[in-house]
Structure 1
Amino acid sequence: MSGRLIRVAGAVAMLMAGLAPARPGGKVESVATALVVSVDVSQSVDDARFRLQMEGIAEALEDPGVVAAITGNPGGILFAMVTWADRAGMPVPWRRIASKADAAAAAAAVRATPRQAGEFTCIGQMFRTVAASVIPAMPLPADRIVVDVSGDGSDNCTDPDALEAERDDLLGLGATINGLPILVPGENDVVGAGAYRAPGYGLRPTPLPQDRTSLEQWYRAHVVGGPTSFLLAAAGYGDFSRAMRRKFVIEISALERKGEK
């Protein structure tokens, strides 16, 4: 679906729901960017890591450079946060951020997010939820939709073909998927080797990828996609806030990253 179709579909949905605010002249209001921040909360993410992620996102929303990027867009942006493990949820539903006060309120909502229970790293399930439930719930049409995926592991519960199909379905809605792999030395230097216990399947070989690879390479191959998509890694959880701030500015300002796909 093209960006124009996304805007038209969003406008129709709002008019049907009676939610579309109108500008003088009857034109439906819209935003340039709808940003979905999608965060891994699986078993490898303990309480300390979870809080570092929530604080990192909140700090990024409050950062003067990010606020300047947001307010530089006519009408601001749409923002939502998804957390995922065995399943995905949307603890911070869609909200419009058009001012410093709006950004502070969104940051407070992120900080107040409770820990979600979950064991497995089900990226394919998250893709499906974002495509089926999150994007259709957008309260305003947007020129572009960006899904920002962060995590510290490869998918360990989705069949390879199903994972690719779920990503393709999300990309087919006109979304761009960017990646923020969290690299933890000595812990996830290599992915795709060994075995895992998938829900309902018992112990079996890791399905993706078949060969040993780095998490950064795995994200490039199986997560990132769409127009102007890019990958920006965090050097551990302590670097998450810095990486997220930089990523937000690029995504919200629609800056093009060269050589980072």
Structure 2
Amino acid sequence: MPPIFRLLLAGMILIAAGQGVGHAAARSADKDAPGAAPVDTALIVSVDVSGSVDQGRFALQMDGIAKALEDPEVIAAMLSGPRASMMFTMVEWSERVATAIPWTRIASRDDAFAVAARVRRTQRPAGEFTCVAHMMRYVSDLILPTLPVKAERVVMDVSGDGVDNCDEDPATARMRDALTATGMTINGLPINEGDPNEPLGGGAFRAPGRPFQPRTFAPKILEPWYRKYVIGGAGAFLLPAKGYGDFDRAIKEKFALEISAAPAVHAHFAQLGAAGSR
């Protein structure tokens, strides 16, 4: 992990340890009124399960997400805010979108490990297309309205290995803008298989049920496409993975930054977002 992340996360661990006694009472109160207490962060983990994601790649994603939830630094980040809790949900998407794990409160190490176990048990659904705009509409219509508590921050983490091949770019951008208008931050984890500077495909797209259609733009490179059409909101940033074998490293670092309520991390968010907009 880069030194800047280690310094930030070390501070979070100390914060979480110092707040443990005070937040124990709050967590006890939560049990008396489930779902009533607000949280620091609501995190939507949005996972690509299109045709390029075979069973092996799917397993690497699920194991990486589970390991991140079990990591002491990530757990410290979860518990570092004034409410010492967060909400977690996971969405799987291709041309179909489904909620793999509904909104679940994480307010302790045991909670985090329980969600990690559910992630590992998740089955890969059938899917062929990379439909980012479809996924964002699903989140807008069915995920945000069902968030059961107030959250100080709502963050969506989008991971995938390709550009939208269901809709042209303006549809993805419109849905991204609609979500960020609610105050959500959308961060990207592009999974680079091969040279990230090489164009993806031949510049065509095929929406479900239609023949290949010529795109009205040049073939896309994954990271710039994520930067231009996917990420958005306050402090939004990209943290790429160098292939599926690097996914667990990337998702761990990304979760720790996204979940943290520490002011130093928020400042780092802003710097990452400013750099990404250039």
Same fold (TM over 0.5): yes
Equivalent position of 1:191 in the other structure: 200
Asked if 1:165 is matched to 2:155, the reply is no
Q: Amino acid of the residue matched to residue 145 of structure 1?
A: V
**TM-score scaled by length of structure 1:** 0.85
- Report 1:200-211 matches (<5 A): 200-206=209-215, 210-211=217-218
In the TM superposition, residue 36 of structure 1 has moved relative to its aligned partner by 0.3
Matches within 5 A, 1:70-219: 70-73=78-81, 74-185=83-194, 189-191=198-200, 193-206=202-215, 210-219=217-226
Q: CA deviation at 1:187?
A: 8.7
2:37 maps to: 29
Q: Percent identity?
A: 50
Query: Where do 5+ consecutive residues of structure 1 fail to align?
Result: 1-20
- Displacement, 1:32? 1.1
Q: What is residue 227 of structure 1 aligned with on the other side?
A: 234
Q: Is the 8 A contact 1:152 1:184 kept in 2?
A: yes
Q: CA deviation at 1:199?
A: 1.1
Evaluate the alpha carbon distance shift between residue 123 and residue 101 of structure 1 in structure 2; reply closer, same or farther with a 3 A threshold: same
**What TM-score does the superposition give when structure 2 sets the normalisation length?**
0.80
The corresponding residue for 1:238 is 245
AA at the equivalent of 2:152: D
Q: Whose helix proportion is higher, 1 or 2? A: 2
> Which amino acid counterpart does residue 63 of structure 1 have in structure 2?
D
Secondary structure, aligned partner of 2:104: strand
Which of 66, 69, 72 is the matching residue for 1:61?
Answer: 69
Superposition deviation, residue 75 in structure 1: 3.5
When the two chains are superposed, the root-mean-square deviation of aligned CA atoms in Å is 2.0
Which residue type is aligned with residue 199 of structure 1?
A: P
Mapped partners of 1:166, 1:252: distance in 2: 23
Q: Which runs of 4+ in 1 moved over 3 A?
A: 21-24, 186-189
Q: Residues 124 and 163 of structure 1 are in contact (CA less than 8 Å); yes or no, is this contact kept in structure 2? A: yes
Contact 1:131 1:173 in 2 (8 A): no
Aligned length: 236
Query: In structure 2, how many angstroms separate the alpha carbons of the residues matched to 1:90 and 1:163?
Result: 20
